[in-house]
Amino acid sequence: AGASLVACKSQSAGGAADRERRMKWWHQARFGMFIHWGLYSVLGRHEWVMENEGIPVAEYEKLAQRFTPQPHAARAWAKLAKQTGQKYMVMTTKHHEGFCNFNSKLTNYCAPQQACGRDLVKEYVDAARAEGMRVGFYYSLMDWHHPDGAKCEHDEAARKRFVKYIHGQI
C-alpha cells in the first residue's frame, strides 16, 4: 500500500526520472539498516502480535506505558550503520498497530504523548544525518487502532475520514 503512494507521486512531472535516479542510488548503495519497532517490541515477539494473538485494543494500548527506549539509541544505530559500511537507514514511523513513533496532532497514541515522552523519529533522523546516512521511513497505511481503519473497506464515510487522518499524519 505504501508503494502506491510512492507510485502516485512518481507519476508527476519529472517524477519518473527522479524515481529512476533514486532507485539507481539504492541499488548501488546495496546495504542499509531497517529499524522495525513499535509497541510490539515490548512483548518481544512479532510485529503482528496484536492481530495474530487477538489482543484487544484497550489491552494493547497499555504497552505504551512500557515502551521506554533508551535515550540516544538512534545515535548508536547510526554509528553502527556507518562503521559497517551501510549507506542508509529506514525506520518504522507507524506500524499496523497504529502507534506513532513521532508526535501527532491527530492522535495521542504516540511516543511523545503516551510512552517515553520523546519524538523517536526526530531522534532517528538527527542521528542518521549526523553520520551522513540517508534517511527513509516506513509508515503503514493499515491501522488497527484507528476506529475507521477496519471499516474503510466497506464504508465510504469511514474511508474518507481514514484517508484524511492518514494524509494529515504524512
pLDDT tens by residue, 92-143: 999 999 999 999 999 999 999 999 999 999 999 999 999 999 999 999 999 9
Residue 77: closest CA among 99, 65, 92, 94: 92
Its pTM stands at: 0.85
Mean pLDDT, rounded, of the chain = 90
Contact assessment for residue 144 and residue 98, using Cβ atoms and an 8 Å cutoff: yes
How many angstroms separate the CA atoms of 170 and 162, rounded? 12
* Rounded mean pLDDT, 73-99: 96
What DSSP line would sit under 62-91, residue for residue?
A: GGGGG--PPTTHHHHHHHHHHHTT--EEEE
Of 87, 86, 88, 111, nearest in space to 98 by CA? 111
Instruction: Give residue 13's pLDDT.
Output: 56
Residue 90 contacts residue 32 (beta carbons within 8 Å): yes
What pLDDT score was predicted for residue 110? 97
Cβ neighbour number for residue 106 with a 10 Å cutoff = 14
Residue 88, pLDDT above cutoff 70: yes
Cβ–Cβ under 8 Å, residues 115 and 54: no
The fraction of the chain above a pLDDT of 70, given in percent, is 92
The reported pLDDT for the residue numbered 153 is 87
